[in-house]
Structure formats: structure tokens, C-alpha cells
């Protein structure tokens, strides 16, 4: 099988694959993770709040985002936002939204829904006595959340948050619908150009596998270290 | 819950592929994607409603922070 396997095409394209493709993939992954965790935590707190309107809005948003596949959300966002922007600003033609900005906002909004469910589980895993004790000490709602509930929720949910980040890392390859050269996109470009589809796709799969596998082992070790802390 | 929904979305990826195939055949991109979106929403709203009941059913009373 490997008789006419061209390893040189991989070696020749290594700098392009990693400096252009992997840089984009990692940038998008880390920015979307940070944004997703921040907005997700806010959404989770909204969903658990006593205000009917806030919790209803957060619930609707999360359920809507989780009901749609990421490819469709990327597609709709990229093609509809210019027209919505035109309608909002009253401009004469559709506003321009770059592919990177569009994908970053889409991933952040989409992942916020998933991170919000994780954070909601984390907040609900704290026993009721803790916020009750915090209130008895005279802490406000904001202080209770900031100093008592959220730190414990983050610690309990850290393995799940990191696992979701690994899933997000794999999902970034879906930006192919906007034809942005992420790692997979770069590999497929070289593959089409040089007619070496098997080599490039196998190499891309191997790289994704190795990175995700190493990250999974790291998460498992972290989980074992965190296990005694409660 | 996350795992179950991911499985469901993997099953549905066949539906997206179908929509893409139609798109290449007819160039009616927006119509095909609208149809796919509506179908996904209908299927997953059922899942969401069922999961709400499951969540309410398995909650341990008196333990959960929040509402």
C-alpha cells in the first residue's frame, strides 16, 4: 500500500500546513473557547436566574443553538449577516464581513450554548448549603457567585470544559464551508494541487488524532489529580 | 446528555450531506438549506422537550443550587 506513497509532498508542505493552517486552527480554537466560556457562564447564570424573561431567553437561545448543526449555523451566519447589517444600518449594499470575523463570532455564539450547559451543570453541582452560608455571611448575589459558587463550579467542570475544547478543536475544520484554509483546508489544497489526496488526508487525520489524543490523556490526568479535592 | 445529542447530530449529518447534494444538483442553495434547518429544528425540539422532562425527573430534591 505504501509502495507509491509520496512522503516528500508532506515534507514540502509542512511549513504551509503548520504556519498557515495550524496557526489559524489554534487561534480560532483558543479565541472561541475563551469567548464561549465567558458567554456560556453568563448564559448559565441567566438561565438559572429568578427573572422569568432572562431565564426564558437563555433557555430559548441555548436550545435553538443546540438544535442546529454547526455547519448550518456557519452557513446562515456568513450569508445572512451582511444583509441583516444592511437592514440595520440602512446602507445601500450588504455590509462586508470577513470570513475570519464571521467564523470567530459564529463559533463563539455556538460554543457558548454548549459551555452554558456545562456551566449550568457545574453551578447546580454545588450543594444548596454553600450559597445559603454565603448569604448568611452577608455576601450579595454577585459576591456569592464570584467567590463561592463559580470557582467550585469551574473546578468541578474543568475536565468537561477541556473535553469540549478538544471537540471544538476538531469542529474548527468545518470552516471549509467558508473556504478558509485552516489545517484541514490547507492539507486539502495541497492534496488537490499535487494530486496526492491519500497522503495529505492521512497525514491531516494523523495530526488531528495525535493532538486530540495527547490532550485527552492530559485531561484524564488532570481529572485524577482533581478527584481528591472535593 | 451531551453524548446522546452528539450521536444524534452525527446521524443528522447524513441529512446535511443530502442538502449539499441537492444544492449541487439544482443550485437552489438557500431553499435546500432552509429545508434542512427546519427539519433539524423539528427533530431536535422533540429531543429538547424530552430531555427537559428527564432532567426534571432525575433531579435530586433539595440538593440543586439555582432555581
The pLDDT-based confidence of B1 (bands split at 50, 70, 90) is very low
Distance from CA of B34 to the nearest CA of A (A): 9
Distance CA A91, CA A97 (A): 14
Q: What pLDDT is attached to residue A35?
A: 96
Interface of A with B in 138-167 (CB under 8 A): 149, 164, 167
Selecting from A72, A75, A124 the residue whose C-beta is nearest the C-beta of B66 gives A124
Which residues of chain B neighbour A125 with C-beta distances below 8 Å? 65
pLDDT at B66 over 70: no
Helix (H) or strand (E) holding A116: helix A99-124
Domain locations in chain B as residue ranges: 2-58
Residue B60 pLDDT > 80: no
Q: Kindly report, residue by residue over B13-57, the tens digit of the pLDDT.
A: 666 666 665 555 556 778 888 899 999 999 999 999 999 899 888
Q: Do B67 and A48 touch (CB under 8 A)?
A: yes
Q: For chain A (length 230 residues), average pLDDT per consecutive 10?
A: 76 86 93 96 92 93 93 90 86 82 93 95 88 92 92 92 95 88 90 88 94 94 78
In chain B, the N- to C-terminal Cα span, in Å, equals: 20
Q: What is the DSSP letter of B59?
A: P
Q: Decide: A94 and A83 in contact? Cβ < 8 Å.
A: yes
Query: Cell digits for A49?
Result: 436566574
Strand partners, A127: B64
Whole-structure pTM value: 0.83
First to last CA, chain A: 52
Q: Which long-range contacts (CB under 8 A, 24 or more apart) does A148-156 make?
A: A149/A123, A149/B65, A150/A41, A150/A123, A152/A122, A152/A126, A153/A119, A153/A122, A153/A123, A153/A125, A153/A126, A154/A122, A155/A226, A155/A229, A156/A122, A156/A125, A156/A126, A156/A230
DSSP H helices in A128-171: 129-136, 141-143, 150-171
Q: Could you please state the CATH topology (level 3) that the domain comprising A7-229 is classified under.
A: MetI-like fold (1.10.3720)
Interface of B with A in 6-65 (CB under 8 A): 6, 9, 12-13, 16, 30, 33, 36-37, 40-41, 44-45, 47-48, 62-65
Amino acid at each position: 500500500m505504501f509502495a507509491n506513497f509520496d512522503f516528500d509532498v508532506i515534507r514540502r508542505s509542512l511549513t504551509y500546513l503548520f504556519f498557515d493552517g495550524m496557526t489559524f486552527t489554534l487561534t480560532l480554537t483558543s479565541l472561541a473557547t475563551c469567548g464561549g466560556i465567558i458567554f456560556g457562564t453568563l448564559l448559565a447564570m441567566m438561565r438559572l436566574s429568578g427573572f422569568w424573561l432572562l431565564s426564558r431567553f437563555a433557555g430559548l437561545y441555548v436550545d435553538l443553538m443546540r438544535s442546529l448543526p454547526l455547519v448550518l449555523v456557519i452557513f446562515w451566519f456568513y450569508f445572512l449577516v451582511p444583509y441583516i447589517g444592511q437592514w440595520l444600518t440602512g446602507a445601500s449594499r450588504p455590509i462586508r464581513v470577513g470570513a475570519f470575523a464571521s467564523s470567530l463570532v459564529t463559533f463563539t455564539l455556538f460554543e457558548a450554548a454548549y459551555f452554558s450547559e456545562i456551566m449550568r451543570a457545574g453551578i447546580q453541582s454545588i450543594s444548596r448549603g454553600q450559597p445559603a452560608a454565603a448569604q448568611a455571611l452577608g455576601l450579595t448575589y454577585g459576591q456569592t457567585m464570584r467567590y463561592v459558587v463559580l470557582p467550585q463550579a469551574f473546578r468541578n467542570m474543568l475536565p468537561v470544559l477541556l473535553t469540549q475544547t478538544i471537540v471544538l478543536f476538531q469542529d474548527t475544520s468545518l470552516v471549509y464551508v467558508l473556504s478558509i484554509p485552516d489545517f484541514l483546508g490547507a492539507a486539502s489544497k495541497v492534496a488537490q494541487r499535487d494530486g496526492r489526496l491519500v497522503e495529505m488526508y492521512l497525514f491531516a487525520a494523523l495530526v488531528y488524532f495525535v493532538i486530540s489524543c495527547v490532550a485527552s490523556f492530559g485531561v484524564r490526568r488532570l481529572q485524577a489529580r482533581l478527584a481528591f479535592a472535593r | 446528555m451531551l453524548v446522546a445529542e452528539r450521536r444524534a447530530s452525527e446521524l443528522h449529518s447524513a441529512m446535511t450531506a443530502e442538502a449539499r447534494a441537492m444544492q449541487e444538483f439544482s443550485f437552489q442553495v438557500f431553499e435546500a438549506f432552509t429545508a434542512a434547518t427546519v427539519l433539524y429544528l423539528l427533530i431536535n425540539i422533540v429531543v429538547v422537550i424530552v430531555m427537559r422532562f428527564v432532567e426534571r425527573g432525575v433531579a435530586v430534591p433539595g440538593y440543586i443550587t439555582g432555581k
